Amino acid sequence: MAALIYGLVVLVKTLVLGEPVAGFPTLIVSMMFLGGTQLLAIGLLGEYVGRLLVETKQRPLYLLNSAEFPDLDSATELDSATIIAPARWSIAAG
pLDDT in tens, 22-40: 888 888 888 888 988 999 9
pLDDT in tens, 25-82: 888 888 888 988 999 999 999 999 999 998 888 887 777 777 777 766 655 555 545 5
How far apart, in Å, are the Cα atoms of 19 and each of 15, 29, 84? 8, 14, 75
Residue 94: what pLDDT? 45
Q: State the DSSP H helix or E strand holding residue 53, giving kind and residue range, or none if neither.
A: helix 24-57
